Every structure is written in structure tokens, then in C-alpha cells.
Structure 1
Amino acid sequence: MRNREHREISSNSAVESKYDEYVMPIWKSLDVPVRRADGHTLEDFEGNEYLDCFSGISVTNAGHGNEAVVEAAKDQLDEFVHGCSYVHPNEPMARLAERLAEVTPGDLRKTFFCNSGTEAVEGAIKLARKHTGNTEIVALEMGFHGRTLGSLALTGNKSYKDGMAPTLNDVSHFSAPYAYRCPRCDGDRCTGACADDLEHVIDSHTSGDVAAVVIEPVMGEGGIVVPSDEWLDRVREITHDHGALLVVDEVQTGYGRTGAFWASDHFDVTPDVLTQAKGIANGLPLGAFTASADVADSFESGDHLSTFGGNPVACAGALANLEQLLDGIVDASAENGDWLGDRLADLEADFEVVGDTRGLGLMHGVELVDPERTGPRGVAPAPDPDLATRVSERLREAGVVVGVGGFYSNVMRFQPPLTIPRDRLERAVAQLETAIDEASH
């Protein structure tokens, strides 16, 4: 073992060089070395400040460093850090589970706690298989559910799977409700017609042994794709007609992100199993999936376990976070989200390279296109991922962090902390407008 003198990192280049030398290759597309964060602001190691409109991929919904969340975690640290919550019951996990039973849709009642969204999805699949006695899963094209082998099989995008096959074999995919590029929709709104593709896929690509249909109520990595009520109603109907469970992945959309506590609340559809993570504890590592007592009790002791799942420090922070969000933050985000949607729609009218804008609450996407070329399947202008990269770079230079995603990597993703003030949102949109104007020329 080599002894080295450890000095405080004092520059962006210093922390980046340590990543290059000691950390396995990871996603660094935003590339802002963070020394501290507060509210809606990031600060790098050289004192530069950035307006954060991505929230660490929709995680710090209650704002970076939310005082109530931090204090709750600190108080629990003084009591004990770990005792394995599935061996020794503890108060924070018990109270959080009870609170989730109160705020989740319908009769969802019992929760399993884990560490991440990926684990929540994989646990939900195990539960669906155990409850139904079936094995096959159907998920959405363009969907994203995680990067471990089980959740990766559900993810409907080959770019995440390159070099990682084989994953689970019993997974099929059906059409996403992507109205802008759907030949069966009018381009502005999902008509629900593509939901019937689920029936076709079950009949033609499965043996009929379907345990679950897994969807995101708003597709995040897929490009902030919002379905219609008709689509979700039909998907639920087909799912239940085939004796399967509807698993709704709210990992990215939950905890107020869409202007309601759950994106499911926008639709008259109650999940059979609801997965959650990201915004659950405002940055503390925690994930969960919640089901009705009937479905949840299909698990027997030992069927599923997590050493660190339900960590009392994370659960204490999550409890405080939940109350913070319900104390006005979600309502304020809905109002700001309405304003943001209208303002981004102005960009669609002003720029030919803005093909579509869409979203709910503070989860909005701006799809950038090349108007001179036709897109996939002859629908809408071609995606322009190079333009999205240039826009992102200009925004960063202007001190604004916005995500880039979508199936074609051409969607600017607005997902700021829900506590962001209106004037900061106005600044971000103004900078986006400037960046699009400059980058498109």
C-alpha cells in the first residue's frame, strides 16, 4: 500500500484528473465539477456559479441542501447509522412506510425499500412474477428503467445495451406514446391509438405468460414524452385483461416533479406497483416500490432483501423531504410549470429548429431538429443531436446547466429544483433562447 499526502482539491482540473485516474468511465456530459450546492445553484472549485436546471437528474426536488432534510439526517446520524433495516426494525423506516401508504395512489399500502431506482424496478418485477406466477415482461420502446442487467432488459434503447447482452430473455417492447413522431397521432397530442400495439405485442411476441407491463407515466430519458389519458387507460385495460400487473415507474416523475406529487395523479389510473427513487430523499441514496397489501404479501420472508435498503439516515431525510414537498413546494412547482410550458412553446413558434416542446410541471423538454431533413419513419423533421450538444455547451458557458437526452439525444431537458424562483426560470429560458439562436447559426 502506498501512502500519499492528501491535499484539499482546489481546482476543477484537479478533481477531473482524479476522476480520470481513479474512477471508472462514467457519463460526464454536463461536466461541471461541483464543490458545493445550495438551493438552485451549483458552485465549482474555482468559484464559478451555475443555475441548476437539471437537479442531478431530477433528484434534489426540494432544493440543494434543504435545511429540514439535512437536519433530519444529522439527527439520525447521532442515534445510529445502520442496523440492517430488514433485520432490526427502526422508527424512520416504519414511519416512512406508513407515510407512503397515505400519499401513494389508490390502495397501495406496503413498501419495500432499497437503494436506487434500478433496484426498485428489479424488485417490482420479482414481486409481479411472484404474485402472478407468470414470467414475461412487456415494456416501452424508448423507455428507461436502469442499467443493471434486469432493468436494462426493460430499457427500450440499444445505446444503453451495446456490449451488455444478453440481458433477460422474457422481455418484449411496444410502441411509445411519442406523438411528435408517431404516424398514428396528429403530432401535437397522443391520441391513444398506439396503445393497441400492446395487445399486438402480447399476441405476437410473448407466450401469453405476462407478469407485468412496465411504463413511465412521463418518459424521462426518452425525451419528456407525455401520454394521453386515453393511452394510459387502454394500456391498463389490456394489462389487466391478460392477468398482468401494471408497474408504473415513477423514479424520475415522482415527488412533485410533474406538478402533482405523482405523475400518476394526472391520469385516472392507479398502478398495481409504483417504483420510486431520485426525489425520494433529496439526494440521499434511497429507492422503493409500493404495492397493495394483496400484491405485496405475495413476497414471503427471504424472497427479497437489501442490506442497506431502508437505511435509517436516508429514511429520516426522506420523511423530512416528503413534508417539505407537501408544504407548498409541489403546488408552487405546478404554477411555475404552467409558466414554463407556455414560455417554451414561444420558442417553438420562434425557431424552426425547435420542433416540439412538451412536459408537465417542472419536467419539460425542447426537441431540437434539422428542418431541412425528414425524420425517422417520415414523420417530423430529423432530430439534431449535434445542435443539442452545441446549445448545452453555450448554456454552460453562460452559467446554466440543462440536461440533454431523448431517444435521439436531441432534447433539452428542463428539470430544475422545484424551489427555483420564477426570475431564475426566466433567466434560464432567456439563456436557452440565446443559445439556440447562436448555435443554430
Structure 2
Amino acid sequence: MNYIGPEAILQKKQEYLIPCVYHFYKKPMQIVRGEMQYLYDHKGKKYLDLYGGVSVMNAGHCNPEIVEKICAQVNTLQHTTTIYLTQPIADLAEKLSEITPGNLKRSFFCASGSEANEGAALISQLFTKKSKFVAIEQGLHGRTKLTMNLTGIPMWRTDPYPSGNVTHIPAAYCYRCAYGLTYPNCDLKCARRLEDVVRDGDFAALIIEPIQGNGGIITPPPEYFQLIREILNKYKVLLITDEVQTGFGRTGKMFAIEHWDVVPDIMCMAKALANGTPLGAFITNDAVASAYTRPGASTTGGNPVSATAALATIDVIENYRLVEKAKELGDYFKNALNDLQQKYRIIGDVRGMGLMLGVELVKEDKIPAFDETDNILEQLKDLGILAGRTGISRNVLTFQPPLVITQNDIDHLCMVLGIILSKVSDG
């Protein structure tokens, strides 16, 4: 194929795309091929992908077992929409009822995480007959009008006319506590703030990521969700967990909320659900589902190709024990990052679970190391390693790789990162 190269793509992008569509790197590359945990640019350079398309490619890029089933489905039936009966969407709904926690059973399929969160918000209002929502500062829930208002990250709240129906409370960001307290002596004040908000009685639901991805891999302490659940039950407010980034083995459990032994009323998913094939969904229990009876549909949601891709993806995750692998490799990876933290003062905090890890980079007095993070990300790319960059101050190096990576991949990253950090520290 005749690749036009990064410069020509940038020129077309600047001329034909809306300016909000941004990209990583000062000198971006043209990605043309993927193979499990690797990506390749138009010149054939190989990159170890430790970001997974932002927590999407859990089963690996172009996983041959998934690709084979997608191609077979495309050659048979590509699209009919939900007004006709097809088997993959029903089989997928059945499978999700089996692998999600507790009494979650009934699914609605759409094409993205934003739509899934939007639908979850709608059904929570239908069930509770209440209008307001609580969300978490530093959370990210989508690009639609409502989900942008639910989002608690300023750079993603583009809407100049925000809704008055959303109240944000502080995140469980122990490294930078909003109240200046220290865990565990804080009495989980960030969680207790929820009761101050919902006691007015008109809140339909709290929407929350079990681990905040774009917020900087913010990971709540062990008691957090039990307290959240207790408060919500007291005031009859639903719990919506946004597992768009954390789902399907990413954190060492099939779904991250399982680390806290809490069952949500509604769970949202996308991204890794179909390993990059566009598909979103929310799943709920029989009681909440019973409130949504008027006709509803998503033209491409749960189409035969995407549903087949999702079923194949779940098969790969289960057959190759990728959930257990994420736990084992995640523990190894986190320990290696903690070792780097002991050597380099620029690493202020290491957090996360499984293969969803963040390294917050700071200067003196915890001042966010914004420029340094940008520089490190660029150097990693030049040396053939792709990572993420998240957090309110964009100073968290983020690792959300395909779950098919190896211990050797982790060792290679830590070696390269150590070399880069030593130069940054010397500078």
C-alpha cells in the first residue's frame, strides 16, 4: 500500500476534521498495522503498545481468533438492526448476564461508551422518577451533551451551557486529598460527602468509574464502595458503574467493581467489550429494566458483526485466562514501578490495579511535572514504546496494555523508563 505519511495526514486532518480531534506526540507517526501487543508505523518501525488504544485492545491487536470470526460473520450477515431477529445479540446478552456480578441480567446495546452511559442515566430516571445525578470530580463519562456534564475533568467539559442537574463530589484521590486529609485517618470524607448531596431526595443515580482512567488512574481505598453503597441504599439512589475502561479483565477481575464486593444497579461497558469493534452496552437487573418499556433501539447497536466480535473476545479472555494474567502481571508491573519510584524522586505516586497502572510525575512540593511527562512520553515513543498521559494536570504516565503482554515486555519498559528517568533527574 502507498502510505501518505504523517505530514500528509496532518495536513488533511487540519483541513477536513473539526479542530477538537487532537493527537498525541509532537512528531506523530502513521500507524498502519497491529499484531497482539505491537503496532507498526508506515516505515515498518515496531512499537510495544502499553496503552491498548486507551484500554480497548485487551485481547491484542488483530487477534487472529477474533478476526477469523468477524470475517466469517461479515461474509454471512453484516447488518439488519434490532427490529429483526438475529442470534449474536441474544447470545451476547446471555453471556453478559453470566459474567457480570450479582443480579445484573438485562442488556441494551449501542455503539459507544458515551451512549451506554447516556442510556444508563435515562433508565435510572425512568425507574426512580427522579431527575438529578451525582458524579465524581476527575471522572470521564463521554462526549454527548449529558455525559459531558457528568464528566468531572475540565478539559473534557466542552459544553458552555452545563446542566444544573449534576452535582460533583471529590474523588477518592488519596495522593491529593481534596480535604487535605490522610488515609486511613480521613474517615473517608470524600465518600461521606455523598450523603450531604443526596439527602435532598431528588437524585436518580450516582455514576462512577471504579478506577478513574482519564482522571489519572485514581483508585479508591478498600472501604470506599461499601460506604458509597450504604449511603445510596439509605436514600434510594441507584449506583451506575462506568466500566468502559476498567472492564473485561483489565484490573485483574472481569469487572473492576468486583474488587470492592459491590454489585451496581447498572453497569456500563464498551471499548474492550468487542476488542475495538464499535460496541457499547449497559446491563441492569430485572427491576430497573422493567421501567424501560417504550420502544427503544440503536440502529447499529448489537449488530451481528460487533456482537460476534464481543463473543469471540470474551472467549479469548476466558480461554487464555487473561483476567488471571492481568492480576499476576499487574502485580509484577506495579512492583517494578514501585522500585523505580524508590530511585527517582520525580515519581510521586504509583497506583492502579492489574494492568491499569498510573505513575504520577511531580516536582518539589508535589507540583505536577507537566513538561517532564510530555518529554518522557515522547522519548518512550521514539524508543518504540507507547504509553498514555492522563490526570487533571496531564502528569500521569498511564499503562493500560493489551492483556497478552509478557513479563519480558514489562522488563523492557521498566529498563527503558529507568534510563529516561535517570536523564530527566540529571537534567
Selected match of 1:390 from 360, 375, 379: 375
1:189–1:368 Cα change, 3 Å? farther
State the secondary structure of the residue aligned to 2:182: coil
Distance 1:152 1:36, change over 3 A: same
Per the TM alignment, residue 184 of structure 1 is displaced from its structure 2 partner at its CA by 5.4
Aligned length: 421
For the residues of structure 1 that align with 2:408 and 2:99, how far apart are their CA atoms?
31
Tell me the residue number matched to 2:304: 312
CA contact (8 A) 2:347 2:359 kept: yes
Q: Which residue of 1 aligns with 2:162?
A: 167
The alpha carbon displacement at 1:185 in A equals: 4.4
What is the aligned partner in structure 1 of residue 45 from structure 2? 48
Q: What SS is found at the alignment partner of 2:361?
A: strand
What is the distance in 2 between the residues matched to 1:420 and 1:217? Answer: 23
Tell me the amino acid that sits aligned with residue 12 of structure 1: P
Give the TM-score taking structure 1 as reference length.
Answer: 0.92
The structure 2 residue matched to 1:22, chosen from 16, 33, 50, is 16
3-state secondary structure, aligned to 1:35 = strand
Map 1:148-159 → 2, pairs under 5 A: 148-159=144-155
Contact 2:89–2:304, Cα closer than 8 Å, also in 1 = yes
Trace 1:143-222 onto structure 2 (pairs within 5 A). 143-162=139-158, 164-182=159-177, 183=179, 185-186=181-182, 192-203=188-199, 207-222=200-215
Tell me the amino acid that sits aligned with residue 318 of structure 2.
Answer: L
Aligned partners of 2:223 and 2:260 also within 8 Å: no
Q: How does 1:3-402 map to 2 (within 5 A)?
A: 8-25=2-19, 26-30=21-25, 31-85=28-82, 87-162=83-158, 164-182=159-177, 183=179, 185-186=181-182, 192-203=188-199, 207-302=200-295, 304-327=296-319, 328-371=321-364, 374=365, 381-402=366-387
In 2, Cα distance between equivalents of 1:80 and 1:290: 25
Shift of 1:187: 6.0
Task: Specify which of 406, 416, 419 is matched with residue 391 of structure 2.
Answer: 406
Task: Measure the CA separation in 1 of the matches of 2:375 and 2:398.
Answer: 14
Q: Distance in 2 between matches of 1:168 and 1:311?
A: 32
SS in 2 for 1:229: coil
In the TM superposition, what is the alpha-carbon distance from 1:19 to its structure 2 partner?
2.3
What CA distance in whole angstroms lies between the structure 2 residues aligned with 1:21 and 1:44? 23
Q: Tell me by how many angstroms 1:229 deviates.
A: 2.6
**Matching residue's letter, 2:310:** A
Contact 1:124 1:289 (8 Å CA) reproduced: yes
TM-aligned CA deviation for residue 191 of structure 1: 5.8
Q: Secondary structure at the match of 1:79?
A: coil
Instruction: Deviation per CA, 1:289-323: give whole Å up to 9, x if none.
Output: 00001111210132x32111111101001001001
Percent identical among aligned pairs is 38
Residues of 1 paired with 2:184 and 2:175: CA distance? 6
Question: Do the aligned residues in 1 keep the contact of 2:114 with 2:147 (CA within 8 Å)?
Answer: yes
Question: Could you say if the C-alpha distance between residues 117 and 150 of structure 1 is closer, same or farther in structure 2, counting changes exceeding 3 Å?
Answer: same
Change in 2 beyond 3 A, CA 1:191/1:36: farther
Indicate if the aligned counterparts of 1:185 and 1:191 stay in contact, CA closer than 8 A: no
- Please provide the CA RMSD for this pair: 1.6
* Amino acid in structure 2 at the alignment position of 1:307: T
CA distance in 2, matches of 1:252, 1:188: 27
Q: What is the rounded CA distance, in whole Å, between the counterparts of 1:161 and 1:12 in structure 2?
A: 29
| Distance in 2 (alpha carbons) for counterparts of 1:190 and 1:100 | 37
